[in-house]
Structure 1
Amino acid sequence: MKYTYFVTATGAGTGLTSVCLGLVRALEQLGVRVAFCKPIAQQFDKEQGPERSTHLVNVTLGLHPEKPIKLAHAQQQLALGQADRLMEEVIQLSQASGEDADILIVEGLVPVADENYIAELNRNMAKALDADVILVSAKNSDSTAQLNERIKMTASLFGGIHHRKVVGCILNKVGAPAPASQQVIAEEDPEELGTAKHHSAEEFAAILPIFQKDDFKCIGAVQWNPLLVAPRTADVAEHLGARIINEGQMSERRVQSITVCARTMPNMLHTLKAGTLVVTPGDRDDILLAACMAALNGVPLAGVILTGGLQPIPQVMDLCHSAFLTGLPVLTSEHNTFRSAQLLNSMNTEVPANDIQRMESVMNAVAGSINAKWLAERAQVIEERRLSPPAFRHLLVKRARKAAKRIILPEGSEPRTIRAAAICHEKGIAHCVLLGNPDEIRRIAQTLDIILPDSIEIIDPAIAVPKYIDAMVELRKHKGLSAPMAEAQLEDPIVLGTMMLALNDVDGLVAGAIHTTANTVRPALQLIKTRPNTKLVSSVFFMLLPDQAVVYGDCAINPDPNAEELADIAIQSGDSARAFGIEPRIAMISYSTGISGTGSDVEKVREATRIAQKLRPDLLIDGPMQYDAASTPSVAASKAPDSLVAGRATVFVFPDLNTGNTTYKAVQRSANVISIGPMLQGLRKPVNDLSRGALVEDIVYTIALTAIQADQMSDQ
């Protein structure tokens, strides 16, 4: 551990844990080896089980900080005058947590009213760890002047804003709505940071007097996003103590808005949108039936809460049965409608310890708003030492934005694809073209509450097909393709999209969310064809292991390549790794290492290694090699001590599809590893296949991969 940042809050409700974890994510995206520690546990309200911050950093970032000291123990040590002994424990925990890291992020304690010892503990921990201090603040119910004073007062606990160890503040929840009780009068505070404004860190530095000095920096300004505080319906059920009538997808659906229905049904229909939680008296069968109709029409409501302890009669429940099968959660609360609404309004907005998906979104939002590069430069660890999974994903997005390519999505009416396209446009990853009926695509988007940017292009296949008939006949005339046959084949949206790519109307294609790999690859082989000097089309997966991103090939296309083909796969995979920022050290995987084994299978790998080394002496290629010898330094030291690849491999080339596919799935599922791919190699233009179980995030990153491939191919 080389450098320590102690991060603490200026008050309650600042989102300290979210900012700390987002800061870790931001530093990881720079390739910095970063660790986390929460030396003293602090649990609130009804929190049970493991300490929240330590648990979340474990399951989201794969870090393993030491178990924190209980707050009761820390209080007891202070009462006994054993503060020095307590700090020794804090130092021991911190050093153990950050032993191999360049930067350690230490989360302090949240100040609590009438408990002055919290401030003392924070001050003592920062001093004992010789840490730079970063404050986290949120405006909440304060005026701008009060926010400025709160930051200043908290900084004074650590020596003030001019102290060399007090480096700056991260502002969270910028633009959040004011509490209902707060009445803001603009004339009294002309520079008030209102809810309608979006301020950057630079703008805050100009507005708040405390940031006018060069030695106290506004390190980040995290904008308020209501989606990041949206609880799951299951969280609502627990908060209300509600009884479950139909569980549905209550663990996946999120409450983005609440509608309390006391009006007649026609006057509340406009509120039935994706993410809406419907709260209504239990005897309002008409409201329940309307919600069920919305669900049957594809609107993913967050759920229905029937209040007053009332439940519909069995006949009504029978009518709702088909809607329940769509995943619509239905709950009943013993409280009346008014009290239920009050309780919902008072829900804690902090991320529960078991809501990993939401914490991932929060961390990414925070990471994108923090000047982590400045912090890394201050710690003098800015050089990139490895391509960690967050660094790899960050690199994908960055390079895709720069490429600015046009990617066709033939499965244009598939809901995950529509949402991925919207995200890509929002983040500037690619210009997506949705292939499908425009009215149907817009209806699905509206049903799912997806905002389609104006920049997204929608092409109707019925209108586009005639343009490509003659061109397809020309491409396939050696196969005797006639115009009527071409027209029939172009009715397949993947064939149509592939023709658009073949004629340079788009730069890349992504499909497979609802089609097989064969459906995606076959048109590409027929119409796009392989690149010059390439023997075959192969594939790689980018496996995001806990410590770094590595490449697996070929795990999806070629069942049993011969030695020449396997050498080609190795070269393609090495080039793909290098193209995506991974320094290629290629291990040719087999059941034996070096010259220890014999047999036709290992001889094939040995010959493939020889061919690949001869064709590409610029690449580090070694084999045959067992997987453990390729991946584990201690094993490599005994099995292949002279190898430049063993123990350090970043590209793993498997001898056949059976071995490759089995290994990638075993690693992915057993180790809970994210895999991106398969990415196809060897085609003249980029076509990439999706798993039919792909998540929206998988589609987004595959689009990014495709855009980068298109950019690289255009330069060749």
Structure 2
Amino acid sequence: EKYEDAYAFTRKEVEELKGKGEENEIFETIIKKYKYLENNYDFILVEGTDFFNEVNSFEFDLNREIAQNLNIPVILVLNSKRYKTEDSLIKNTSLEIESYTEKNIKVISVIANKFKGDKDKFIHEIKQKHPDYLVSTLPIEPILSKPTVGEVAQELNAKILMGSTHLSTIMGKSIVGAMQMRNFLERLSENCLVITPGDRADLIVGTMLANISANYTKVAGIVLTGDYYPEESVVRLIEGIHPHLPVMIVKTGTFETANKVGSNKSKIYPTSTAKIKIALELFDKNVDTDELDAIITNYQSTQITPRMFQYNMMEQAYKIQKRIVLPEGTDDRILRAASMLAEDKVVYLTILGEEKKIKSQVNLLGLYWDEERIKIINPSTSSYLDDFSETLYHLRKEKGMQLAQARDLMHDVSYFGTMMVYKGLADGMVSGAINTTQHTIRTSGQGEEVEKVRLATEKVKQQRPDLLIEGPIQYDAAVDPKVGKQKLPDSEVAGQANVLIFPDLNTGNNTYKAVQRETGALAIGPVLQGLNKPVNDLSRGATVDDIYNT
């Protein structure tokens, strides 16, 4: 797989999208990338963000929203060095756990990284509140915070003169060689990195000799500054002394180079074999890996998040490629949604209206338009008009309908669209952005009347005793635990309901619109049941996204 398949955005891209209010695009892309990996691999570890030395709500909220939208469990890893005292670490750990759990995100383990306090106290304090969690600490390992010679070379954009096979050496201190040899040699320390101008042949040769001398410590490498190359005779000499010691050349001066080396933050790359070995040993020694493995292996979630539901729905639509008729072709929202659906190749569409007017409006709005996926039909001039009129006349003649009346009705986009569904020319119709709910659904023929809620509840309990169901119940008692406990203290559903069934369309419409407007929740539907043909209704206040999802 390509590296780009393993991440969705850079930090800068996320900040720009958030600034534009396009959070939906952030999570839709993350879900799409995640699902692609899920289909190709047995296990996925979502690393989350790691903005160095920053403690801000942006990063924290982003990680929480990623976990929530992917519906995956969390291993909470805290950088203990960010907290001044052990008590503040314990307090903030508890707050972070609560911020996840209050969003119904499952935390399975807590690890305090770079920990240097009372290990037993920390574990005891956290497990008092969360006894089921695996709580661990990882002590500070100084070697892991030190860069390798290769990391320094990459940071300095250096050219490797020799010793390219030993770039994984972990360096100690860096020293600047600008003094005489006798003073320079006294400053050498274990695995130090020597920084010296490229024309100081004496210090270069002296470093090489010290590196092989039994009386001096090993050196990690040499950085030659100022873009000065040693003379050819010097290069031949040092290659014969120690060809494996890394020597690199940089264009920057000695002072600037030393500053860059000093501020370089260590990382662990796939090629950092020595660091990886140390990190694995540290983890195995301090974390019960068998218990962690069992927790991860046994974790199962039966929940599905709204955005994941939306993704699955769109994936299903993409696979089956249905044709949907949109009667209200004069509405800009319909045209924008149609453009998005065509660009995403989710469905084939038929839009009803005058072709010239629709295309003119599409051009005015600057919309993407795919004529293979979007057809425009004018009911008044369509070749289907006579056949549709005859069909409606035969269906309704027993109720007194005349052929001329049927023909007049077929000029109405709602009747024409419904007849397309009836005749199999479309798989479904979505309408209501302009027309009323009654106008949208009456043409399809209504199903049986809904029974009283109490009788319906009893019927479900008889047929599916395994389902937890409560009714009649008011909305606040259904979703608010405190209200539910007060009104129905013995109910297993009150305050925890995750499926709401309404007795009629008006009640459902009013409730979902109120919830959507107040909470900003994703709204799909309403999904109508009991109609003879698949016709779905839109709210006249529907947004482009509402139309897209419906």
Which TM-score applies when normalising by structure 2? 0.52
Separation of aligned partners in 2, 1:129 and 1:430: 55
Q: Name the residue aligned to 2:119.
A: none
1:423 maps to 2:423: no
Distance in 2 between residues matched to 1:27 and 1:499, nearest whole Å: 38
**Aligned equivalent of 1:436, options 343, 353, 357:** 353
Say yes or no: does 1:693 pair with 2:541.
Answer: yes
- 1:473 maps to which residue? 393
Taking a change above 3 Å as real, the CA distance of residues 166 and 475 of structure 1, as seen in their structure-2 partners, is farther
Amino acid at match of 2:357: E
Structure-2 separation of matches of 1:524 and 1:448: 32
Match of 2:252 in 1: none
Per the TM alignment, residue 508 of structure 1 is displaced from its structure 2 partner at its CA by 0.2
User: Deviation string for 1:55-105 (max 9, x for gaps)?
Assistant: 788999999xxxxxxxxxx9xx9xxxx87738986786466334433479x
Give the conservation status (yes or no) of the 8 Å contact 1:516–1:692. Answer: yes
Aligned AA (1:414):
D
1:158 match: 267
What is the 5 A alignment of 1:103-252?
157-162=266-271
1:392 and 2:391 matched:
no
Deviation for aligned residue 1:683: 1.1
The structure having more radius of gyration, on CA atoms, is 2
Distance 1:635 1:698 in 2: 30
Do residues 460 (structure 1) and 345 (structure 2) align?
A: no
Correspondence list, 1:649-668, <5 A: 649-654=497-502, 660=508, 662-668=510-516
TM-fit CA distance, 1:385: 3.5
Q: Does 1:669 align with 2:522?
A: no
SS in structure 1 at match of 2:533? coil
SS at match of 2:433: coil
1:133-532 mapped onto 2 (5 Å cutoff) = 157-162=266-271, 383-453=300-370, 454-461=372-379, 462-463=381-382, 464-525=384-445, 529-530=446-447
Alignment check: 8 A CA contact 2:354 2:377 kept:
yes
Distance 2:369 2:140 in 1: 49
Q: Distance in 2 between matches of 1:419 and 1:493?
A: 19
Change (3 A) 1:86 1:449: farther
C-alpha spacing 1:51/1:619, structure 2 compared with 1 (3 Å): closer
Distance 1:482 1:84, change over 3 A: closer
The alpha-carbon deviation at position 686 of structure 1 amounts to 1.0
Partner-residue secondary structure (3-state), 1:652: coil
Contact 1:155 1:166 in 2 (8 A): no
Aligned equivalents of 2:440 and 2:61: distance in 1?
A: 41
**What displacement does 1:678 show?**
2.0
- The code of the aligned residue for 2:366 comes to D
* Shift in alpha-carbon separation, 1:26–1:670, aligned structure 2, 3 A: same
Query: 1 CA distance for matches of 2:467 and 2:411?
Result: 44
**CA offsets, 1:359-383, max 9 Å, x none?**
xxxxxxxxxxxxxxxxxx9976984
**Residues 428 and 97 of structure 1, relative CA distance in 2, 3 Å threshold:** farther
Residue 651 of structure 1 aligns to a residue in which SS?
A: coil
In the alignment, does 2:135 pair up with 1:26? no
Structure-2 change in CA distance of 1:660 and 1:701 (3 Å): closer
Q: Distance in 2 between matches of 1:97 and 1:128?
A: 21
Higher helix share: 2
Cα distance in 2 for residues equivalent to 1:379 and 1:467: 61
Q: Report the residue type matching 1:515 in the other structure.
A: N
Structure 2 residue runs of 5 or longer lacking an equivalent are 1-5, 39-43, 70-78, 109-136, 145-156, 161-167, 169-260, 277-293
Structure 1 residues 313-363: Cα deviation after superposition (integer angstroms, max 9, x where no partner): xxxxxxxxxxxxxxxxxxxxxxxxxxxxxxxxxxxxxxxxxxxxxxxxxxx
Residues 137-165 of structure 1 deviation map (CA, whole Å, 9 limit, x = unaligned)? xxxxxxxxx8xx9xx99998222224699
Q: 2:496 aligns with which of 624, 631, 648?
A: 648
CA separation of 1:472 and 1:632: change in aligned 2, threshold 3 A: same
**In the TM superposition, what is the alpha-carbon distance from 1:514 to its structure 2 partner?**
1.2
Matched ranges for 1:624-635 at <5 A: 624-633=472-481
Shift of 1:398: 1.7
Q: Which has the higher contact order (CA 8 A, sep 6+)?
A: 1
Match of 2:461 in 1: 613
Partner amino acid, structure 2, of 1:445: V
Aligned-pair CA distance for 1:652: 2.3
CA distance in 2, matches of 1:159, 1:383: 31
Q: 1:697 to 1:35 in 2, by over 3 A?
A: farther
* 1:688 counterpart SS class: strand
Going from structure 1 to structure 2, the CA distance change for 1:635 and 1:411 (only over 3 Å counts) comes to: closer
Judging by fraction of residues, say which structure has more strand: 1
Answer yes or no: is the 8 Å Cα contact 1:9–1:16 preserved in 2. Answer: no
Over 3 Å counting, the alpha-carbon distance change for 1:60 and 1:659 in structure 2 is: farther
8 Å Cα contact 2:509-2:526 kept in structure 1: no
Aligned residues: 356
1:640–1:646 Cα contact (<8 Å) kept: yes
**In structure 2, do the counterparts of structure 1 residues 502 and 389 end up closer, same or farther at CA, with 3 Å as the change threshold?**
same
Separation in 1 of the partners of 2:325 and 2:9? Answer: 48
User: In the alignment, what sits opposite 1:679?
Assistant: 527
Q: CA deviation at 1:501?
A: 0.7
1:99-119 deviation digits (Å, cap 9, x = unpaired)? 433479xxxxxxxxxxxxxxx
Q: 1:86 to 1:403 in 2, by over 3 A?
A: farther
1:643 and 1:414 map into 2 onto residues whose CA distance is: 46
Q: Give the CA deviation at 1:129.
A: 11
Displacement of 1:466: 2.2
The 3 A distance-change label for structure 1 pair 513 and 388 is: same
Going from structure 1 to structure 2, the CA distance change for 1:97 and 1:611 (only over 3 Å counts) comes to same
CA distance in 2, matches of 1:11, 1:427: 23
- Contact kept? 1:37, 1:94, Cα under 8 Å: no
Which position in structure 1 is the counterpart of 2:197?
Answer: none
Instruction: Please state whether the residue corresponding to 1:96 is helix, strand or coil.
Output: helix
Query: What is the root-mean-square deviation of aligned Cα atoms in Å?
Result: 5.3
Separation in structure 1 between the aligned mates of residue 437 and residue 8 of structure 2, nearest angstrom: 50
Give the letter for the 2:96 counterpart: S
Q: Is the 8 A contact 2:479 2:495 kept in 1?
A: yes
Q: Which residue of 2 aligns with 1:96?
A: 95
Letter in 1 for 2:390: D
Report the Cα distance in structure 1 between the residues aligned to 2:307 and 2:492, rounded to whole angstroms. Answer: 26
The 3-state SS of whatever aligns with 2:542 is coil
**Contact 2:49 2:63 (C-alpha < 8 Å) held by counterparts:** no
Q: 1:97 and 1:12, CA in 2 relative to 1: closer, same or farther beyond 3 A?
A: closer
2:30 partner letter: A
**Matched residues, percent identical?**
32
| Cα displacement (A) at 1:405 | 0.9
Could you say what secondary structure the match of 2:528 adopts? Answer: strand
Find the aligned partners of 1:441 and 1:405 in 2 and give their Cα distance.
Answer: 22
Structure 1 contact 35–98 (Cα < 8 Å) conserved: no
SS of residue matched to 1:682: coil
> Are 1:633 and 1:647, in contact at CA under 8 Å, matched by a contact in 2?
yes
Letter in 2 for 1:26: I
1:566 maps to a residue whose letter is E
Alpha-carbon distance in structure 2 between the residues aligned to 1:18 and 1:165: 39
* Runs of at least 5 residues in structure 1 that lack an aligned partner in the other structure: 1-6, 44-49, 64-73, 105-125, 134-145, 168-376, 537-564, 568-604, 703-716
Between 90-99 and 455-464, the greater mean CA deviation after superposition: 90-99
